[in-house]
Amino acid sequence: MKKTEVEKNCAHCVKAQPLADEETMLCERAGVVSGGHYCRKFKYDPLKRVPAPAPKLEKADLSLD
């Protein structure tokens, strides 16, 4: 089974928490960093990932003509 590659950044790391804005993170190891930063101690947290929006469904034509 092949694992999918996860984008490494502090926004998805267990060791980082967001600050006032979503771009700045507080890392346990590196202190205040940008959300795109990551280090060797990166550990993925799946609960921090924001899923892609669901696709729009087309309305079905249910007329009996």
Task: Please report which confidence band the pLDDT of residue 2 belongs to, taking 50, 70 and 90 as the band edges.
Answer: low
Domain boundaries, the chain: 10-48
pLDDT per residue as tens digits for the range 8-56: 888 888 888 888 887 888 888 888 888 788 888 888 888 888 888 999 8
The secondary structure of residue 20, as a DSSP letter, is: S
Residue 1 reports pLDDT greater than 50: no
